[in-house]
Structure 1
């Protein structure tokens, strides 16, 4: 049985400000629908991702800024960080850890994001150890 994570709610205070921020990061706007005076639904997808985010008005009870460490895997943490900085996004330096290279940023409400460059598992002794997707 397959189970595919395809949509994650992101709690925000200002829908237009959030849409502008995520467009600046490079997310594609899939939908922006005003359903009623109480409900607006915006769905955006990071480039190359099968999973989207959604935010809006009347769609979640989470407190704005309460998401921490949403993680996106990237091929090159340094290049992705440089691209985001060039777009005006405040991103941490790249941190080198045994399980990957990471850079961090937050949206205007403080929802935290991590960029992870996976280690080259094939370079470990005999190619043994954890392999993503295995």
Structure 2
């Protein structure tokens, strides 16, 4: 049995602001921005090189969460220094790099306060 994690809801207050942040500043690919009917809007974005996407949605009670309540999503990178510099160059406020004995981390948050962590594991790639 395969179990593929392919979509993670990210709770935001303003979809347009979040869409700009993830697509323009962080560099996620915009897969679609649709309004299938009524009050429903679905924006799906995918990090470069990932098979898992995020969804920003409104009008979908089944995935509703408080904006900014998501913590610690990890983006695994080959070089944390390069990834951190690229994001900082796009205006993303980055945390310092922490080295925990071969695993390096640097964090950031979206405009709503959802937190993300860049992770580099030495010798894993």
For normalisation by structure 2, the TM-score amounts to: 0.93
Unaligned runs of 5+ residues in structure 2 are none
Unaligned runs of 5+ residues in structure 1 are 122-131
Residue 31 of structure 1: aligned partner: 32
Residue 64 of structure 2: aligned partner: 61
Aligned residues: 122
For normalisation by structure 1, the TM-score amounts to: 0.87
Moved more, 44-53 or 94-103: 94-103
Contact 1:98/1:119 (CA < 8 Å) preserved in 2? no
RMSD in angstroms over aligned alpha carbons? 1.3
Structure with the bigger RCO (C-alpha within 8 Å, sep 6+) is 2
Higher strand content, 1 or 2? 2
Mark the structure with the bigger radius of gyration: 1
Report 1:1-134 matches (<5 A).
1-23=1-23, 24-59=25-60, 60-98=63-101, 100-120=103-123
Q: 1:78-119, CA deviations, whole angstroms, 9 ceiling, x for partnerless residues? A: 110000000000010111012510000000000000000012
